[in-house]
Structure 1
Amino acid sequence: MALWNLLLYVLFVLFVAFLGLCLWIKRSHMKYDHIPGPPKDSFFFGHSLTVRRIMKRGGNMHDKFLEWAETYGPVYRLNLFHFVFVCVYCPETTKEILMSPKYLKDSFLHRKLFTMFGQRFLGNGLVTAIDHDLWYKQRRIMDPAFSSLYLRGLMGTFNETAEKLMDKLSECADSKRDIKMLSLVNCVTLDVITKVAFGMDLDFLSNNLPFPKAIEACLKGMVFNIRDTFFQLNPKNWRFVNEVREACRLLRTTGAQWINNRRSAMQNGEDVPKDILTQIIKCFEKEENKTEEDEEIMLDNFVTFFIAGQETTANQLSFCIMELARHPDIMEKLKNEIDEVIGMKKDLSYDDLGKLTYLTQVLKETLRLYPTAPATSREVMEEKVINGVKIPAGLTYVFSSYVASRLDKFFKDPLKFDPDRFHPDAPKPYYCYYPFSLGPRSCLGQNFAQMEAKVVMAKLIQRFDFNLVPGQTFDILDTGTLRPKSGVVCTVTHRKYRT
């Protein structure tokens, strides 16, 4: 009898909890459903089922965001279970929110990136830190590693690492074998970030190391962790979940080893570069009462720079190669500029980069169509009116450069690859183009990334012709960052110089 009474009590408690959840969700709907948006898949799951369907078939979620923006306007609502987000593509609001330090990174994304399937991932590093003082302290200490003076001194490393890619491409051209450009440029950007940021010369083009696979696992896991609440509960996914945890552990263990080696060198009075690794350690040394959490934040920043410093640049280069191969007229114009600026020189100088104006336009247009880090978000704790719609306080605003850059209200014929949009005399896009985000939380490494991209692309076009292998897709793979799904498979030949 007592057991039966206990069972009835538990059922009653569960019923009351379920009823409370229903009332809470209903209240949320009543509060926010005046905001335009697509019909919800269900009362409980909101639009989560649509998101899961797109992910299951390997689709690009940002194309659905674009479709909804074209249907419901520059501000619309997105329901993921009991969370409500507002997607905003209004330039004035984009400017107001992203350019101000008072609007913080949102707590939902912070929780999803702090740990991944129970394993610490990006933690409280520079990208994910919500607390403004904590972020500002880290950013201020990191700034010297990205100053223009320091970046000038990296040209030797950029040239040296890009030359290894040229040697690899030369072998491929001689053997007449097809190559997946994404894989090669991934190795190059990893070589650059490990050498420039952490003082390690690993030569990923020649050595089969575990880091590329670990980064890919982390990024893929990040998407499922953010967009699919029940992913970890499905036994079919447990093997992959364990792979992601192992990848996170590998990156953090590597970071701890490299940090300890550098710290020992600094304590022994050895000359060390003013690179990212040194700045990470200096950030720790600034703390008066050091804690275990401070040690973890060092590793948070190591993982952040290890991934962010490689992945997005590699994807940009791959998309750029893909579009140039599809547009021979643009390629010809670019060849002419490169022949005129650098001719037969083996190494580029910092001043050469400033003269490659059309290459700059090509790279900017690549990021317009394919912003490799496609979105950012902020928590807005005050009520606003956007495009005539009252938005209650306390919501997370999502800003997608991918969507804004593909809306014809901002860019004429937006799906056309046209570098002349970024001609120096062309009108500048007004807060609808932000592949590196905007304002104080914009990407610290954007100048670093574009210098690296220019060196690689200039050398590639100077030395080789490349053509896409027929039959491959031009679809986009959404793995948190955006990458070409095909991997950009090309045939490469030595370029014949004009006489």
Structure 2
Amino acid sequence: MDVLGAMWGLLLLLLSVSLLAFSFYCCYLKFIHMNYDHIPGPPRESFVLGHLPIFWKMQRKNELLHQLFMQWTETYGPIVRFNAFHRVLVIVFSPEGVKEYLMSPEYPKDRTVYGQLSHLFGVRFLGNGLVSDHDYDHWHKQRRIVDPAFSRTYLMGLMDTFNEKAEELMKKLEEKADGKTELSILNMMSRVTLDVLAKVAFGMELNALHDDQTPFPHAVTMIMKGTSEIRLPLAKYMPGKQKLIKEIQESVRLLRRVGKECIEQRREDIQNGEEARVDILTQILKAAALEETRDDENILDNFVTFFIAGHETTASQLSFTIMELTRQPEIMERLQAEVDEVIGTKRNISYADLGNLQYLTQVLKESLRLYPPVPGTVRWTGKENIIEGIRIPANVTLFFSSYVMGRMETFFKDPMNFNPDRFSNSAPKPYFSYFPFSLGPRSCVGQIFSQMEAKVVMAKLLQRFEFQLAPGQSFEIVDTGTLKPRDGVMCILKPRILQI
């Protein structure tokens, strides 16, 4: 009887402590609400959960959260508050805010948000690579090492590889260009950009374009699923998720294992005096030696970062561009005329040719305005500020949406109209409202690489093929870590007769 009484006493004590802790937490939440509720925002769904139930409902329905942000800025203005438990996210749709927070090294990346990408379900993923590193000094040292490998001058010497891999894609597409066969443009673009990146960056022949069984494309797909899954709190404990999570973990391990072998072999070749391959990895290892640093885990972090970010984003951009062009016959005709004039029947596109494809440049920029594969970026405030007349407290997470700002009438007239002339030389510049590669010191190191590759692939596609969108396309966007066309842009291709 005494034992039973003791157990009841312990249970009551635990219950009392839990209730007391919850009461303290609710008081803390009230304090947070009082400190941040001067910032406009929609009503919270829950006192404790904040706006999270809205987010979870949209995720279950595979709806795009950025569309909700579009509605919020129309209703609540350029600065909007989002509550999740005791954390507050301030969403900024203001050029003034973009200029203040993105252009200065004073505001680091958010440790909590980007920390989720450091490890994926317990397995080291991006680690302290360029995307996830929130320590500015450490990041800056990495950037000094990597920058020479992505300079325009160095990338010009890689045009032969861009052409070689793009030609392999053309041959593959020619087999299916019968005017009847449907194929996924997104799938084909994902495979060719993976092959390009592997060869140009790391001297690897993945052959993803020709070998459906190669494990890399599947591994990358699984990893991107993982970056989406970790947004759900306690995802790894949810019923039915264990098999998926194990596959995601194995995919990350595969990528890092191959990267480690690649780095070790290249360093051995350099030490043995063998003629080094002209690729980005060689440049990075040489620069790291000059900096007298040998942090292989960090170099491996960036290997994984380049693989994931470098091919997914370009593949999505190319797919969205083709999707729009199939609906814009006048733009397609003008674009093909430019390609015919600049490229003609040539199979080898030069760097000088890319500079002369001005309208293609405009089309690719307009595609990024409407469909930025990376829809936004996050920063952390270390001090209080006033933006758009609203006080932004210190120590808060800020989110900047290139997707939303690129679709706002405030910054782009008739924003849902696909109009490449917005980016002509004579058009007004969209300062601090257009940032598909971010802005400031932490802008994407690979943006020149990405757009050179996109131009080579697009020019060859426009030179060789006519595109027709297969029936039944939804034109919807899905967020799987990066934005993609939900239906994969199913197209029917026919060989094009060049008008020279």
TM-score range, shorter chain: over 0.9
What secondary structure does 1:250 align onto? helix
Give, in whole Å, the separation in 2 of the partners of 1:111 and 1:101. 19
Aligned partner of 2:218 in structure 1 is 213
- Using the size of structure 2 for normalisation, the TM-score is 0.96
TM-superposition CA deviations, 1:215-271 (whole Å, max 9, x none): 122122212213x21322211222222221121111111111111211221221212
Q: Where in structure 2 are the equivalents of 1:141-220 lying within 5 Å?
A: 141-174=145-178, 176-207=180-211, 208-220=213-225
Q: Where in structure 2 are the equivalents of 1:316-331 lying within 5 Å?
A: 316-331=317-332
Aligned partner of 2:384 in structure 1 is 383
Give 2:217's aligned amino acid. P
What secondary structure does 1:44 align onto? coil
Give, in whole Å, the separation in 2 of the partners of 1:266 and 1:20. 60
Q: Where in structure 2 are the equivalents of 1:51-62 lying within 5 Å?
A: 51-62=55-66
Corresponding position: 1:448 with 2:453: no
Aligned partner of 1:346 in structure 2 is 347
Give 1:214's aligned amino acid. A
Aligned partner of 1:488 in structure 2 is 489
Give, in whole Å, the separation in 2 of the partners of 1:14 and 1:250. 43
In the TM superposition, residue 34 of structure 1 has moved relative to its aligned partner by 1.3
Aligned partner of 1:414 in structure 2 is 415
Is the contact between residue 340 and residue 498 of structure 2 (CA under 8 Å) also seen in structure 1? no
Give 1:487's aligned amino acid. G
In the TM superposition, residue 288 of structure 1 has moved relative to its aligned partner by 6.2
Give 1:10's aligned amino acid. L
Aligned partner of 2:27 in structure 1 is 23
Count matched residues.
495
In the TM superposition, residue 9 of structure 1 has moved relative to its aligned partner by 2.6
In the TM superposition, residue 340 of structure 1 has moved relative to its aligned partner by 0.7
Give, in whole Å, the separation in 2 of the partners of 1:119 and 1:19. 36
1:268 corresponds to which of 269, 272, 293: 272
Change (3 A) 1:213 1:97: same
Percent identity over paired residues: 55
Change (3 A) 1:83 1:276: farther
Residue ranges of structure 1 left out of the alignment (5+ in a row): none
TM-superposition CA deviations, 1:164-217 (whole Å, max 9, x none): 010011000148411111100111100010001111112111112111122122
What secondary structure does 1:86 align onto? strand
Give, in whole Å, the separation in 1 of the partners of 2:248 and 2:206. 23
In the TM superposition, residue 286 of structure 1 has moved relative to its aligned partner by 6.2
Q: Where in structure 2 are the equivalents of 1:33-72 lying within 5 Å?
A: 33-72=37-76
Give 2:447's aligned amino acid. Q
TM-superposition CA deviations, 1:299-347 (whole Å, max 9, x none): 2111101111100000000000000001000000001111111111111
Is the contact between residue 179 and residue 492 of structure 2 (CA under 8 Å) also seen in structure 1? no
In the TM superposition, residue 285 of structure 1 has moved relative to its aligned partner by 4.6
Is the contact between residue 91 and residue 432 of structure 1 (CA under 8 Å) also seen in structure 2? yes
Residue ranges of structure 2 left out of the alignment (5+ in a row): none
What do you get for the CA RMSD once the two structures are aligned? 1.6
Give 1:223's aligned amino acid. S
Give, in whole Å, the separation in 2 of the partners of 1:59 and 1:339. 40
Give, in whole Å, the separation in 2 of the partners of 1:450 and 1:287. 29
Change (3 A) 1:117 1:354: same
Give 2:112's aligned amino acid. F
Corresponding position: 1:83 with 2:87: yes
Change (3 A) 1:407 1:289: closer
Is the contact between residue 179 and residue 493 of structure 2 (CA under 8 Å) also seen in structure 1? no
What secondary structure does 1:236 align onto? coil
Change (3 A) 1:150 1:14: same
Change (3 A) 1:289 1:193: closer
Change (3 A) 1:23 1:176: same
Give, in whole Å, the separation in 2 of the partners of 1:445 and 1:52. 33
Give, in whole Å, the separation in 1 of the partners of 2:141 and 2:370. 34
What secondary structure does 1:205 align onto? coil
Give 1:489's aligned amino acid. M
Give, in whole Å, the separation in 2 of the partners of 1:311 and 1:234. 27
Give, in whole Å, the separation in 2 of the partners of 1:356 and 1:283. 33
Aligned partner of 1:224 in structure 2 is 229
Is the contact between residue 123 and residue 249 of structure 2 (CA under 8 Å) also seen in structure 1? yes
In the TM superposition, residue 7 of structure 1 has moved relative to its aligned partner by 2.6
Aligned partner of 2:430 in structure 1 is 429
Q: Where in structure 2 are the equivalents of 1:109-120 lying within 5 Å?
A: 109-120=113-124
TM-superposition CA deviations, 1:367-395 (whole Å, max 9, x none): 00001111001111111112221111111
What secondary structure does 2:240 align onto? helix
Q: Where in structure 2 are the equivalents of 1:452-467 lying within 5 Å?
A: 452-467=453-468
Change (3 A) 1:330 1:287: closer
